[in-house]
Structure 1
Amino acid sequence: MTKTVNPDNEARRRWLAVLARAPRPELEKARLFLEELPPLAHVRPAESGMVMLRGRVGGTGDAFNLGEASVTRCAIRVGSGALGVGYALGRDRRKVELMAVFDALLQDVQWHADIMRLVVEPLAKQQAAERDAASRAAAASKVEFFTFVRGQA
């Protein structure tokens, strides 16, 4: 039996979000850092389906159905360790399998620190830099509008 890390929900949510935003080629490259893994057991093989996206009028008002989006999910157990899950928008089955493997390994004491250092933290920094660049590009194109008041003395 392997020892597992007991992450709080927020820490696990953070690393799953980073993995979900990462493109598959980055996850494939990160997989190369890992040595020989224990056997993988597909608890729930990767499968695609649809989810209904909901919106709110004005952001806080009445809810409405915005439309549907495809989503793929997977659950994998690495060896006799924790269960790893992967959920992502789209139909990329290999991506969610890699996410599930990383999630399971991040819950294992033996792998946690290395995967955080080699995979999750670099991906998080890259994603933050991309968000910052997009924000700067949007701010550079910002237009200030002002109104003249006519007819007042």
Structure 2
Amino acid sequence: MHTANPITDSRRKAALDVLAGAPSRELAAVWDAWADKPDFTKVRGPEVGLVMVRGRAGGGGAPFNLGEATVSRASVRIVTGQIGHGYCLGRDLAKAEVIAVIDALLQRAPDEVEAEIVAPMRRLAQGTDQQRREQSAATRVNFFTMVRGDN
């Protein structure tokens, strides 16, 4: 499962974005199906903490503190030496730990992990996004084509 093709920072970030946003149940199912789970030691956590969520008025205004969000995080070292980090919103410690192990595996075998774990989660997210767009489009009102009157 070793590869000579190291993962780029942008590819790793994109994979971690997908994993953090994946539903816990579906991620757990894909992870349970992964045959070659590595042994690992915990470096930090898993633990729950808070992060400050910042916003901008109108998208370009002055930044302001919107509030705090609960975040779970974990860091692990797999037996081959790679260290992985996992973060996700909420209090799902198991999900944060799984993401950390997958992150470490991404550094060791990016193509295989991308194909078998990240890609299914990405397809699930895209399907969910498409479903939300369709639901939203069904409630769209086009004011230009509404009643214009007889004047």
TM-score clears 0.5: yes
SS at match of 1:142: coil
- The residue correspondences of 1:58-77 to structure 2 (distance < 5 A) are 58-77=58-77
> Residue 25 of structure 1: CA displacement?
1.5
- The residue correspondences of 1:107-126 to structure 2 (distance < 5 A) are 107-109=107-109, 112-126=110-124
Q: Deviations over 1:63-101 (max 9, x none)?
A: 111111111111011103311110111111000000001
Q: Deviations over 1:93-147 (max 9, x none)?
A: 00000000111111113xx333222211111011101101101211221112249
Q: Structure 1 stretches of 5 or more lacking a match?
A: 149-153
Aligned Cα root-mean-square deviation (Å): 2.1
Q: Number of aligned residue pairs: give it.
A: 146
Deviating beyond 3 angstroms after TM superposition, the runs of 4 or more aligned structure 1 residues are 2-5
1:134 corresponds, among 128, 132, 135, to: 132
User: Given the superposition, is the C-alpha separation of residues 120 and 3 from structure 1 closer, same or farther in structure 2, using an over 3 Å criterion?
Assistant: closer
User: In the alignment, is the contact (CA less than 8 A) between 2:27 and 2:121 conserved in 1?
Assistant: no
Query: C-alpha separation between the residues in 2 aligned to 1:4 and 1:85?
Result: 21
Identity %: 38
Is the aligned partner of 1:23 residue 2:41?
no
Is the aligned partner of 1:87 residue 2:92?
no
- TM-score by length of structure 2 reads 0.87
Query: C-alpha separation between the residues in 2 aligned to 1:4 and 1:78?
Result: 18
Query: C-alpha separation between the residues in 2 aligned to 1:130 and 1:35?
Result: 27
Structure 2 counterpart of 1:100: 100
SS at match of 2:124: helix
